[in-house]
Every structure is written in structure tokens, then in C-alpha cells.
Amino acid sequence: MGIFTENLTNLVNVHLNMLYFASLKKNYMIDKKHIIDRFISYVTIDTESDPNSDTTPSTEKQWNLAHALVKELTAIGMTDVSIDQNAYIMATLPSNVDHDVPVIGFISHFDTSPDFTGANIKPQIIEKYDGKDIVLNAEKDIVLSPDLFDDLLQYTGQTLITTDGNTLLGADDKAGITEIVSAMEYLIQHPEIKHGEIRIGFTPDEEIGRGAHKFDVEKFGAEWAYTMDGSQIGELEYENFNAAAATVKIKGTIVHPGYAKGKMVNSMYIATEFINSLPLLETPEHTENYQGFFHLASIDGSVEETVLKYIVRDHDKDHFNARKEAMHQLTFDINTQYEREVVTIDIEDQYFNMKEKIEPVMHIVDIAAEAMLAVNIKPLIKPIRGGTDGSQLSYMGLPCPNIFAGGHNFHGRYEYVPVESMIKATEVICKIAELTALRK
């Protein structure tokens, strides 16, 4: 390299560094009422998914929000807006810089969990939360209390959106959609904020584990992406559970109870043996952080047949495999004890820890952490005790860490979201776009 070229390179680097640090100091002006109105318009559309359906999306009603989102994305000025036959939505915010910048993406899902009803959601807005109990439903005595949910106290003085106690809220993940759409709209309205090409994607059926199954990574065309699907403000996650679902079937023999001696085999008693033979303290209610578990999700039993549905989770791949092997060994041991096949088990892997795919490209996590610090948020880097579309997408070739969307107490009547957290998440998206354009 010649002296002239070297000096020119140094000048360019100094200029880029000045732009970089200047960008860190810029504040965004996200309209609070606009965020609230957009979020409420989404959550009042029922999009509950159905694990027993074979279609994509799994429920017809998911199309209602999907079509509304396509219209909205077109209206705010996004390009290449598309929706496919399975309701996967994609759109583009074109680059406004004249140098090469990696194409990045932001992804959220629009279905809500079938764990609790999402029909007829009536959001309640709590201005300047005072740190006390929030009565969600006086008639049914349903109260959102910091005595039980102490995370509430970190949002004292802020605006909360809650349920009316009869439904979930749908912040998982309509808060994420609100933030992505609002960030894209803000960047369109503020062309002085420099960014590369940004792709966004909205998916159905994430809550039943199928959100990424038919996601076209090649069509999406991003080098990496972020799911906006975390919980409390500051969360930044690139590790999640390895996950499997297990179905255990126990066969019994039914005869008249008055003549049952030596003949009847009660499958429910054998099911109890199976349940009690797994580690009783390795269940969700006794574990945290990196600890895995066996979770008995449902029982359907009679004398003649009992079916147990488990989910198996562990961050560590070897421990995960050991848990599955333990269930197979237990099945073998019980069958040996009864001298015939009374128990069968089917274990199906669902998703894997995305850490393995993210660690080689940790700069994408670093950018998100820098963006949070730039908008005065302390990053909370921690493992996800669950799954995310980002896990499957990472294994499909799209590295995809997870960023907070702001909600708490997902999948139930006590779900809530601070509006200020949604505003900050919107700012983080804008800042990631800026920093990606400024970094070498």
C-alpha cells in the first residue's frame, strides 16, 4: 500500500469513526400514542394457532392479521411486500447508503399461544403505574400483583398494557411486530438515518413450533437477522434449549372389576410408575438458568390405555441426549418388569441450541449489545428457557439471535407489556440498522 493510499484509508477510518460515535449520541423520537394504537390494532385480532391442525397457517383466522399487515407495510412505504400461500410475509427497506452493507433482517410471529384464549381481547391501559396491585377483573377478583410478579416494580411510573383477566394479551409476539413495523416506518420518515438494506419477516404458527418450518431463507436474502421475541427490556439471547417431544403409551387390560384378580392390568398405575421414576426435581418448577427438565404436559388415561405427553429440554447437547436415553431405558425396564411390551415411547426432536451457529458470528450479538447501550439499555445476555424461530432459522443458514420485545407473563391472563419497553425495542432496531451500516 502506498503512502497516499494509506493516508486516505486512515482519513476514511477517522471519518467513519466520527460518524459512528455521532450516531451513538443521536436520540430517536418514537411517538408513544402511535405505538399504543398500532399494538392494540394487532392484539384485538384473534390469531390463536392450533397444534392439532395440519394446515399452514394452522388456523384460518391468522390470515386476518396477515392480510392487514401486508396492507400496512405497503402503506408505510416498504418495497417487495409479499405474502405466500402459507401466510409468510416478507418486505424490504432499501439501502440509503452508497457502500456495501450486509443485508440484515428482523423477524416476529403473528400467532398467539393456544395455551390460553386469544379471542375478544380487551386491553387495558394503565398510565403511570403506581407499583400497587392492578385489578384486571373486579367481578372475578383477578389481580395482577407485584407480590406475585415482582418484575412489575421495575416499571413503576410507566404505561402498562394489560389484559382484562379473561384472555392472554398477545404481546408474544405482536409487540415484536409493532416494534419492527414502527422502526421501518421511522427509518422511512427519517432518511437522514443511514442504513443498508433491511428485510423483515412475519411468520405464522411459532407458538406450536412451526414458525420457521416453511420460511424461505434464500428468498429472505439476509446475511443475519434478529427475532424480536424476547421478554423483559434488555434481553439479548443467543442460546436456547435443545428440545424434544415424547409420547408415552401404556397398555393395560380391562376386565370386570369384580372378577379382576390376576387379570386386570391398570395402565394408569403403570403410568404412575413411569412418572415417579423420572427425577422429581428435574421439572420446570424446580429448575432455572441452564438446568434442563422433563415436563409432563398432559395425561389422558383409562384402565386400558394411558397416554403421557412430555417435553424434554436441556441446553447441553450431551445432557439432552442423556435425558432421551433415560426415557428409553425406563421404557425397557418397565417392559422387562411386566415381561411384555406394556409401554411404548416415541421421541421426536423439535429444535436445537442455536449457540453452535451463533458463536462463529458473534459480531452480530455485539452489534445488538452496542445498539442497546447506545439507547441507554443494559444488555441482559442470558439463555432462553424455551425455543424461538431463531433457533430453527440459525440451523437453516440464517444466524438469528433474539432481542427483547418487552412483554411479561406470556400465554396467560396476567400478560402485560410496558409501552416504554416497546419504544426502546423500536429504538434498538433503528440503532442496529445504523451501526451495521457504519461498521466495517
Q: Indicate whether 83 and 140 sit together in one domain.
A: yes
Axis crossing angle, helix 419-438 with helix 32-43, rounded to the nearest 10? 110
Q: Indicate whether 316 and 395 sit together in one domain.
A: no
Report, as residue numbers or ranges, the catalytic residues. Answer: 111, 206
- Among 350, 377, 406, give the residue marking a domain's end: 350
Q: Indicate whether 126 and 223 sit together in one domain.
A: yes
Q: From CA 145, how far away is CA 348, in angstroms rounded?
A: 38
Per-residue pLDDT at 13: 46
pTM, two decimals, is 0.86
Q: Indicate whether 136 and 24 sit together in one domain.
A: yes
Residue 365 lies in a domain: yes
Residue 1 lies in a domain: no
| Cβ–Cβ < 8 Å for 120, 171 | no
Q: Indicate whether 12 and 142 sit together in one domain.
A: yes
Burial 125-137 (b: 16+ CB within 10 A, else e): ebeebeeeebebb
Per-residue pLDDT at 27: 77
Per-residue pLDDT at 24: 52
Residue 44 lies in a domain: yes
Q: Tell me which residue range forms the domain holding 260.
A: 246-350
Q: How do beta strands 142-144 and 416-418 pair?
A: unpaired
Per-residue pLDDT at 440: 61
- Binding residues, by number, are 109, 172, 207, 229, 411
Per-residue pLDDT at 190: 97
Q: Indicate whether 412 and 392 sit together in one domain.
A: yes
Q: Indicate whether 181 and 128 sit together in one domain.
A: yes
Element at 161 (helix H, strand E):
strand 160-162
- Among 350, 368, 402, give the residue marking a domain's end: 350
Chunked into runs of 10 residues, the chain (440 residues) has average pLDDT values of 37 44 67 98 98 96 98 98 98 96 97 96 98 97 97 98 98 97 98 97 94 96 97 96 96 94 96 97 95 96 97 96 98 96 96 94 97 96 86 95 97 97 98 91
CATH number of the domain residue 276 falls in: 3.30.70.360
- The most distant pair of C-alpha atoms in the chain lies apart, rounded to whole Å, by 101
Q: Indicate whether 17 and 161 sit together in one domain.
A: yes
Per-residue pLDDT at 389: 86
Per-residue pLDDT at 97: 96
Q: Indicate whether 32 and 119 sit together in one domain.
A: yes
Per-residue pLDDT at 278: 97
Q: What angle do CA 302, 306, 307 make, to 5 degrees?
A: 140
